[in-house]
Amino acid sequence: MPELEPRLFSFNNPYGACPECTGLGEKLEVSSELVIPNKSLTLNEGAIWPWANASHKVGRQGYYHWKLEELSRSHEFSLNEPVKNLPQKVMDLILKGDENFEGVTSNLERRYHSTDSDWTRSEIEQYMVQKQCEKCFGKRLKPEVLAVTVVEKSINEIVNLPIDKLKDFFAAVPQKVNASDLKISQPIIKEIIERSEFLLDVGLDYLNLDRKAATLSGGEEQRIRLATQIGSKLSGVLYILDEPSIGLHARDQHRLIETLLRLRDLGNTVIVVEHDPQTMMAADWLVEIGPGAGKHGGKVVFEGTAKELLKSHTLTGDYLSGRKKVEDGPLPSKQKPKDQKFLKIIGAREHNLKNIDVKIPLGRFICVTGVSGSGKSSLVSDILARALLKKFYRAKDEPGAHKEILGTEHLNKVVLVDQSPIGRTPRSNPATYTGAFSYMRDIFTKTKEARVRGYSAGRFSFNVKGGRCEACEGQGVKKVEMYFLPDIYVECEDCRGKRYSREVLEILYKDKSISDVLHLTVEEAAEFFKNIPGIYEKMKTLKEVGLSYIELGQSATSLSGGEAQRIKLATELSRRDTGKTLYILDEPTTGLHFEDIKKLVAVLRNLVERGNTVLTIEHNMDFIKCVDHIIDLGPEGGEQGGEIIAEGSPSEIIKNKKSYTGQYLR
């Protein structure tokens, strides 16, 4: 054992990290499923996908094929036999190799770790998946570090406790140690308990400290930062929060509000951008901006107390007071068809799910509800979405732990509409993502002036040399590297943000250049292109999901998660649906006002009426009351969640006394 010191217990330090996975807890490994995706093919027909691909790219067919022929002769198997019929011993040899033959997976892993080429590495990554490290089993630390215990628990066991259990564990430590140990540990335990309480105050009792940052929702990240700020006990600070309630069930909202009030009472100012009614009613002062969105907004339409807002006839005031409603009460329960088909998840046990069987009625509007941490994302995103994407589109991500999924034969398409960006650079925008930009370029190509000059559609792309402004390479902005600060983008001095060369900007359609068209809002574009069905339909669906105010050329990096999700939804809506499509949405009301939720519900209902299934995870009660079927998980978050508490129509859930969702719906 080395001498015990703090760095030994950090997986970010080579001193304590597992040497096999360098403290990550998982490794990228070549997957045999991705290497041989179609087991009905023979080795001669190219069943080994990376080698079949490499053959025409690198011209190594001769070498790889020759090695396989040599192997087949020495081990007596046929290259013309479908892979699924070959003995397991032969398959292990082909994949893992022996002293005379470098197997496919060994070959790929050696090349992956030895190459200096990013291109080669990204090519090989297509055949790799993240797997738990076999040496530390995901614990990230060396075995000798894990051998050190405090009250019979290693550091890994402690960080894997939910935060409420973690607090209880450390509160009990003083009774379990001797007097000299207590003297040393008491000030440390006090700090740990205090920090645990801050996380409990913002409703994160179900998280464990070992949870990866990438798996946290935007609201969870904000609430962790908020807990850190409470701990600093500063005063005279202006705090600005953008929708901290994302991912919070109505039951837990009061804890967040109490935290914000405590920050205020310390002598700080707290400004919150929020759509949640409970938060609005708890605020000292409200400022409503409107009256509409985009060019119809930008004015202060109300400022005052919550009581005054209820009396004012603004859009928010009307919804808060009940004069306007997303829907007038829960909708009449849609009659179940006589031959109701189901999608069944059998034995779901990922994370905190308690080996549950879940029945999802097809052709209906369904919502999975429950308090934060009750297992909604584990069920819908980690198990169902991943399993279906793997089945239908050969996606790489392995689904979460479950036995099987039945009823997939009733579907022929799955669409996951999440909140990840529609692009990570200023080049991506709503026009390119929805496909409307191709039609626009064709229109400009057909103008008289463009035909005279012989311009093709490529001339009107800001990604291609010839038409774009070369000073900024068609981005409209130039990146200035700030080294120790985040990079900043400044407007290009040559094209003034228009992205195109002077010659291309001279081509006009209805007195507008291609750059002017990209600066139109969705609402303006719908009017401008009303006679072009290909563009008009896409603009119409963007308006239906409440995005009439965004610009067609608006950079993807400036769109919120909710806006990105609705652009994806609109893109899917403008495609022809099959009537057997499953749409999966995770918190689609993020960033939406009551009025926008009303539009979204109408759009999703329309999809269901056409025979599709819409499955959502949601906390917003105005949205939940509009669905046909609710699956409510709970009863609590973390270890105390993962069970089905109630299922049925909103009116049935309201009658269930065990359901928190039912209480708030009532």
3-state SS assignment for residue 282: helix
State yes or no: cis peptide before 635, omega within 30 of 0. Answer: yes
Kindly state whether residue 234 falls inside one of the protein's structural domains. Answer: no
What crossing angle do the helices spanning 163-176 and 179-201 adopt, rounded to 10°? Answer: 160
Do both 387 and 439 map to the same domain?
A: no
Stretch (H or E) spanning 311: helix 306-311
Q: Are residues 416 and 564 in the same domain?
A: yes
Q: Are 435 and 531 found together in one domain?
A: yes
Retrieve residue 623's tokens.
């949205």
Same domain membership, residue 529 and residue 434:
yes
Torsion angle in degrees (nearest 10) through CA of 383, 389, 392, 395: -120
Given 132, 164, 181, the domain boundary residue is 132
pLDDT, position 270 = 96
The tens digit of pLDDT for each residue in 436-477 reads: 999 999 999 999 999 999 999 989 998 888 889 999 888 888
Q: Is the same domain home to 30 and 74?
A: yes
Domain containing residue 613: CATH number: 3.40.50.300
Residues 355 and 383 placed together within one structural domain of the fold: yes
Q: Does 384 share its domain with 405?
A: yes
Where does a domain end: 78, 97, 132? 132
How far apart, in whole angstroms, are the C-alpha atoms of residue 267 and residue 288?
A: 24
Residues 218 and 244: beta-carbon distance below 8 Å: no
Q: Decide: 411 and 580 in contact? Cβ < 8 Å.
A: yes
Q: Strands 149-150, 128-132: parallel, antiparallel or unpaired by DSSP?
A: unpaired
Collapsed DSSP state (helix, strand, coil) of residue 154: strand
Write the single-letter amino acid at 28: L
CA distance 119 to 154: 41
Residue 540's nearest CA partner among 550, 551, 530 is 530
Same domain for 536 and 563? no
Give me the residues of the chain with pLDDT under 50, please.
Answer: 55-60, 330
Residues 514 and 569 grouped into a single domain: no
Residue 172 is assigned to a structural domain of this protein: no
What is the Cα–Cα distance from 87 to 85, expressed in whole angstroms?
7
The torsion region of residue 635 among left (phi > 0), alpha (psi -120 to 50) and beta comes to alpha
Q: Decide if 385 is inside a domain.
A: yes
Residues 195, 231 contacting (CB under 8 angstroms): yes
Angle at 21 between CA 18 and CA 25, to 5 degrees: 85
| In-domain check, residue 20 | no
Structural tokens at position 652: 């049935």
Rounded CA separation 149/157 (Å):
9
327 in any annotated domain = no
Looking at the fold, whether 347 and 381 belong to one and the same domain comes out as yes
Does 493 reside within a domain?
yes
How far apart CA 54 and CA 48 sit, in angstroms, is 10
Name the nearest CA neighbour of 612 among 315, 388, 410.
Answer: 410
Would you call 205 helix, strand, or coil by DSSP?
coil
Q: Which residues pair with 487 in a beta bridge?
A: none
Q: Are residues 491 and 527 in the same domain?
A: yes
**Structural element, H or E, at residue 271:** strand 269-273
Among 422, 375, 373, 400, CA closest to 247:
373
For residue 57, what is the domain's CATH number?
A: 1.10.8.280
pTM recorded for the entire structure = 0.81
Distance CA(380)–CA(400), nearest Å, equals 10
Task: Measure the N-to-C terminal CA separation of the chain; round to a whole number of Å.
Answer: 60
Query: Does residue 158 lie in a domain region?
Result: no
Q: How far apart are CA 192 and CA 251, in angstroms?
A: 26
Residue 478's CATH number:
1.20.1580.10
Query: How many domains are there within the chain?
Result: 3
Same domain, 509 and 461: yes
- Rg value, the chain, Cα: 29
- Asked if the structure places residue 301 within a domain, the reply is no
Question: Alpha helix (H) ranges present in 506-560?
Answer: 514-518, 522-528, 533-544
Looking at 542, 574, 600, which one is the last position of a domain?
A: 542
Q: Estimate to the nearest angstrom the gap between the alpha carbon of 331 and the chain centroid.
A: 30
Question: Which domain range does residue 605 map to?
Answer: 342-421+559-665
